[in-house]
Amino acid sequence: MSTIFYKVIFKGIKGDSSESYSLTFKNVIQEKPIHIPSQFFSSLKLLSQKQTSVINFQNIREVVKIGASNANYDFNYYIVVLFTSLTDGEKEGFLVGNLKKLGDILIGIWPFNQESTSISSEPILKKLKLLTEDNKFKDICVIYS
């Protein structure tokens, strides 16, 4: 099985020397996808109104799948969530894709070279809950397509 990556290309700022920026996420789609609760993004949006360290904006130009897989998903839209841990200063991110019948599912992690022997829903969902309820993270950025 080959490794699959998603290259997320963001729009650049007018007058910027680069017309776009990108992040590469490692594929984590499994036979049983990790569902992201529907209230997660609405909770982050409410949090952004109260805290300046949480921002939401629309800036994804496109997402390019690199590599081949047996499963070919047709996502309606993508959402990137980036954050920094207050404990160790580590920066992390998730790439979420929306499927018509399944809803929002986790499709990628960043940085893509992080050690991950297996991705399971329990630690991911715990981290998502901590993002919305606890002050263990800073610089939370939610980017929509």
Instruction: Please report, as a single letter, which amino acid is at residue 91.
Output: K
Q: What is the chain's mean pLDDT, rounded?
A: 85
Q: Helix axis angle, 121-133 relative to 39-50, nearest 10°? A: 30
Token code pair at residue 104: 């929002």
- Coil, strand or helix at 133: helix
Q: Which two three-digit tokens encode residue 15?
A: 């007058």
- Are 42 and 128 contacting, i.e. CB atoms less than 8 angstroms apart? no
Interatomic CA distance for residues 99 and 76, integer angstroms: 6
Residue 1 banded pLDDT, cuts 50, 70, 90: very low
Q: What is the mean pLDDT of residues 71-76?
A: 84
Q: What is the pTM of this model?
A: 0.88
Question: Which residue blocks in the chain are alpha helix, DSSP H?
Answer: 39-50, 121-133
Asked if residues 26 and 112 have their Cβ atoms less than 8 Å apart, the reply is yes
pLDDT band at 134 (very low <50, low <70, confident <90, very high): low
Query: What gap in Å lies between CA 7 and CA 25, rounded to an integer?
Result: 6
User: What per-residue confidence (pLDDT) applies to 31?
Assistant: 82
